[in-house]
């Protein structure tokens, strides 16, 4: 695959194809993904045929732009020849998906492909380069996905070469998406051994490029959360870690369901660019030292397909699929250490500690087996983190905390704990508690806020939001929820808060849903506070277009008032490390806990 290419002048045939593809992109119908694509192909008859991607609510029945153009040409008796141009508004040129590559190989095998992104950035693939003509091999024979699916369905184990062939076939378009969906259901029902989970992670990692950061000195440590409500920790954590001398290449995601996404919060900052080419990501790890960005097209392409299919195939909860998805992306990001925040409780993906601990152990053990030192905190997620839920509101709260340490105690505790663990995993301190003290100094002397400004500016955002969080726009339509009776706040329901935020438009029920960054909730009372009837409990930030007087069903479930409030359990419960589980995470010495050896990636 060639790197950045130039595009022919507008008066040339190539220039005409590029112009036609851009025009076709304007006619695309992509309300679910929000990713419009235009295609234009040349024909032996000299006619340019165009197409735009067309989606519908049955997601797997949509058509990509290149297939629309290809099928249109063939149905009219034309002969595709020469060049196919794809036009998108992405930061980087986007190659055809696996299905389109298969269609091109069968129906137009001599066609060259040129992908053009925003600003005219382009990449070119000669005929056959996107999808070689050989079939995947497994155990010495041609890959038969049906046989592997059947064996896993019946409880059998798969060899590393078989898993690699299956995942590699998916990335190359040689294995159909419905076959991978069936495979993932078999994994969901039958599970995987630790060795299979490791091999699946390795195969997904091998499906794309890696962020090579080996030339940069110093530890490269990232943090990953399994998802919660009001989980804004990454925003203050990144600049704190940079101020402590760590490099932090953080590949993050968007919200889906009741849990929020880090990228959605950051995109409430004017100008912030969460989608960046891999070359720019390398530069950012050099200066200012890290980034928070989305997964690129080059990194772990198999995971991009499987992640979407997990949702529609009802296999999201499969632990081997969770582990391989998380770790393949982290290994691709060039880390030397990984800190995991595995949450459990009403607002978390894992309902109880036992399940969370099992997942944390599998993550830590699999990462270690692949040469990536990892540790995991088990944290409680029954109530939202901090006082706000909603993208711009949470960004405001994060930056207010960074600039002077103001903020709720649980936000401060979790940020310093996870950051302290990153410092300890890097070998700078022996324990999480001592690492947290390093971060407290960076918070107090203003260095963390300065790094936040540098980081946001480097990704195109307005750095003034760090010192002036109120620059982030929130909805002007607000309504107070008041206590119906006196007593104490006995519970703030994280799940209800997350669902209400989605209902207001601040989250997604489906991957293609648009998000309103200005809406959300602000809790004015927390667990244990005494209230009188009529006291304000929650401020709602409503969508501007909401009908007057509209009530959302989750409003009544948000805050429970009782005569007395039960004591809350600790947010931070335990530390899972290479040597086992510690119920004293603050003072566990990582060297004694079995810090893994330095990272050595497979392949």
Q: What is the pLDDT of residues 197-251, one digit of tens each?
A: 999 999 999 998 999 999 999 999 999 999 899 999 999 999 999 999 999 999 9
pLDDT tens track for 438-482: 999 999 999 999 999 999 999 999 999 999 999 999 999 999 999
Q: Residue 584, preceding bond cis, omega within 30 degrees?
A: no
Distance CA 41, CA 44 (A): 10
Is 224 an annotated catalytic residue? yes
Q: Are residues 35 and 154 in the same domain?
A: no
Q: What confidence tens digit (pLDDT) does each residue in 255-286 have?
A: 767 888 899 999 999 999 998 989 999 999 99
Does residue 136 carry a pLDDT above 60? no
pLDDT at res. 11: 54
Q: Are residues 322 and 452 in the same domain?
A: yes
The pLDDT of residue 5 is 52
**In the structure encoding, which two tokens stand for residue 574, read together?**
């335990």
> For residues 470 and 465, what is the distance between their CA atoms, to the nearest angstrom?
7
- What the block records as the tokens of 562 is 């009782």
Both 420 and 534 in a single domain?
no
Domain assignment present for residue 71? The answer is yes
**Residue 262 and residue 399 in one domain:** yes
* Contact predicate 223/339, CB 8 Å: yes
Q: What is the pTM of this model?
A: 0.79
325 is catalytic: yes
Q: Is the pLDDT of residue 12 over 80?
A: no
59 is catalytic: no
Percent of the chain with pLDDT over 70: 93
Q: Select, from the ranges 82-91, 96-105, 505-514, the one with the highest average predicted confidence (pLDDT).
A: 82-91
Q: Is residue 201 part of a domain?
A: no
The reply to whether 58 and 165 lie within a common domain is: no
Instruction: Find the catalytic residue in 325, 398, 518, 582.
Output: 325
**199 within a domain of the structure (yes/no):** no
From 105, 125, 145, give the residue that closes a domain: 125
| DSSP symbols for 87-120 | E--SSS--PPPHHHHHHHHHH-TT-EEEEE-GGG
Asked whether the predicted pLDDT for residue 54 surpasses 90, the reply is yes
CATH number of the domain residue 232 falls in = 3.40.1030.10
User: At CA 8, angle to CA 3 and CA 14, rounded to 5?
Assistant: 105
Residue 600 inside a domain? The answer is: no
How high is the pLDDT of residue 330?
95
Contact call for residues 164 and 199 (beta carbons, < 8 A): yes
Contact between 87 and 25 under an 8 Å Cβ cutoff? The reply is yes
The per-residue pLDDT for 602 is 37
Best-predicted range by mean pLDDT among 13-27, 234-248, 301-315? 234-248
Q: Of these residues, 210, 224, 330, 595, which one is catalytic?
A: 224
More confident call, 183 vs 173: 183
Spot the catalytic one: 152, 258, 329, 526: 329
Q: Which domain holds residue 99?
A: 13-125
Distance of CA 292 to CAs 32, 100, 274, Å? 24, 31, 7
Instruction: Name the residue with higher pLDDT: 130 or 374.
Output: 374
Residues 459 and 482 in one domain: no
* 345 & 455 share domain: yes
Residues 452 and 549 in one domain: no
Three-state DSSP class for residue 306: helix
Average pLDDT over residues 501-524: 89
Q: Which of 105, 247, 304, 310 is catalytic?
A: 310
Instruction: Answer with the one of 97, 125, 153 that is the final residue of a domain.
Output: 125
CATH number at residue 174: 1.20.970.10
CB atoms within 10 A of CB 345: 23
Are 237 and 224 in contact, with CB atoms under 8 Å apart? no
303 is catalytic: yes
What stretches of 353-493 show up as alpha helix (H) in DSSP? Answer: 353-369, 391-402, 409-425, 432-444, 447-458
Could you tell me if residue 590 is inside a domain?
A: no
Q: 75, 107 in Cβ contact below 8 A?
A: no
Closest CA to 436 of 231, 585, 595, 249: 585
* Pair 78, 170 in one domain: no
The model's pLDDT over 217-228, given as tens digits with 9 standing for 90+, comes to: 999 999 999 989
Residue for token pair 């940069």: 216
Q: Which of 104, 125, 146 is the last residue of a domain?
A: 125
* Annotation says 152 is catalytic: no
Q: Which residue among the candidates 222, 303, 382, 516 is catalytic per the annotation?
A: 303
Q: CB within 8 A of 301, min separation 6: which ones?
A: 171, 207, 208
Band of the pLDDT at 288, cuts 50, 70, 90?
very high
Q: State phi, psi for 257 to the nearest 5 degrees.
A: 80, -150
538: pLDDT confidence band, cut at 50, 70 and 90? very high
Residue 8 above 90 pLDDT?
no
CATH number at residue 78: 3.40.140.10
Q: Closest Cα to residue 209, out of 463, 479, 448, 1?
A: 1
Q: Locate tokens 């407290």: which residue?
A: 440
- The answer to whether residues 271 and 311 belong to one domain is yes
pLDDT at 3 over 50: no
Q: Is residue 466 situated within a structural domain?
A: yes
Residues 300 and 369 placed together within one structural domain of the fold: yes
Q: Which two tokens stand for residue 32?
A: 């679910």
Q: Domain count for the chain, please give it.
A: 4
pLDDT at 594: 46
Q: How confident is the model at residue 2 (pLDDT cuts 50, 70, 90)?
A: very low
Where residue 141 falls among pLDDT bands split at 50, 70, 90?
low
Domain contains 592: no
**Domain annotation covers residue 6:** no
Q: Are residues 464 and 512 in the same domain?
A: no
Asked whether the predicted pLDDT for residue 7 surpasses 70, the reply is: no
**Which two tokens mark 1?**
């695959």
Most confident of 90-94, 112-116, 118-122: 112-116
């Amino acid at each position: 695959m060639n790197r950045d290419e130039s595009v022919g002048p507008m008066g040339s045939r190539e220039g005409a194809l590029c112009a036609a593809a851009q025009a076709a992109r304007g006619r695309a119908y992509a309300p679910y993904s929000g990713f419009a694509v235009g295609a234009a192909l040349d024909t032996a008859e000299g006619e340019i045929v165009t197409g735009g991607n067309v989606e519908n609510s049955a997601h797997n029945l949509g058509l990509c732009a290149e297939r629309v153009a290809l099928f249109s040409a063939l149905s009219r008796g034309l002969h595709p020849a020469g060049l196919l141009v794809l036009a998108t508004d992405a930061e980087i040129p986007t190659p055809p998906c696996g299905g389109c590559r298969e269609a091109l190989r069968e129906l137009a095998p001599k066609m060259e492909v040129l992908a053009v992104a925003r600003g005219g950035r382009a990449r070119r693939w000669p005929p056959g380069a996107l999808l070689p003509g050989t079939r995947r091999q497994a155990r010495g024979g041609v890959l038969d996905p049906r046989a592997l699916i059947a064996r896993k369905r019946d409880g059998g184990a798969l060899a590393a070469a078989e898993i690699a062939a299956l995942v590699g076939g998916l990335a190359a378009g040689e294995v159909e998406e419905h076959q991978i969906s069936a495979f993932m259901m078999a994994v969901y029902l039958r599970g995987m051994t630790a060795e299979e989970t490791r091999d699946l992670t390795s195969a997904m990692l091998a499906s794309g490029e890696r962020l090579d950061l080996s030339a940069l000195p110093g530890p490269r440590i990232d943090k990953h959360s399994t998802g919660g409500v009001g989980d804004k920790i990454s925003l203050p954590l990144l600049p704190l870690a940079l101020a402590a001398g760590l490099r932090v290449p953080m590949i993050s995601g968007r919200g889906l369901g009741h849990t929020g996404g880090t990228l959605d919060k950051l995109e409430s900052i004017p100008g912030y660019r969460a989608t960046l080419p891999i070359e720019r990501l390398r530069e950012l790890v050099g200066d200012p030292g890290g980034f928070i960005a989305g997964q690129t097209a080059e990194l772990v392409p198999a995971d991009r397909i499987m992640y979407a299919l997990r949702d529609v195939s009802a296999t999201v909860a499969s632990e081997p699929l969770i582990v391989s998805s998380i770790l393949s992306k982290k290994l691709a990001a060039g880390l030397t250490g990984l800190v995991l925040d595995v949450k459990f409780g009403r607002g978390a993906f894992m309902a109880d500690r036992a399940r969370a601990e099992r997942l944390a152990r599998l993550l830590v053990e699999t990462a270690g087996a692949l040469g990536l030192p990892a540790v995991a905190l088990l944290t409680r997620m029954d109530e939202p983190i901090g006082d706000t839920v909603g993208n711009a509101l949470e960004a405001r709260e994060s930056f207010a905390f960074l600039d002077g340490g103001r903020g709720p105690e649980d936000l401060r505790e979790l940020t310093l704990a996870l950051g302290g663990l990153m410092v300890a995993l890097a070998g700078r301190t022996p324990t999480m508690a001592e690492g947290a003290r390093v971060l407290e100094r960076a918070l107090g002397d203003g260095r963390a806020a300065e790094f936040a400004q540098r980081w946001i500016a480097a990704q195109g955002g307005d750095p003034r939001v760090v010192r002036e969080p109120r620059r982030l726009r929130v909805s002007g339509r607000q309504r107070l929820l008041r206590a119906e009776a006196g007593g104490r706040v006995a519970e703030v329901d994280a799940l209800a808060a997350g669902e209400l935020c989605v209902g207001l438009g601040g989250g997604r029920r489906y991957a293609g849903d648009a998000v309103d960054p200005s809406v959300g909730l602000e809790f004015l009372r927390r667990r244990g506070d005494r209230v009188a009837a009529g006291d304000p409990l929650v401020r709602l930030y409503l969508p501007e277009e909401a009908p007057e007087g509209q009530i959302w069903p989750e409003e009544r479930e948000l805050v429970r008032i009782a005569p007395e409030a039960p004591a809350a359990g600790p947010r931070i419960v335990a530390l899972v490390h290479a040597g086992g589980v510690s119920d004293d995470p603050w003072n566990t010495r990582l060297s004694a806990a079995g810090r893994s050896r330095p990272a050595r990636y497979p392949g």
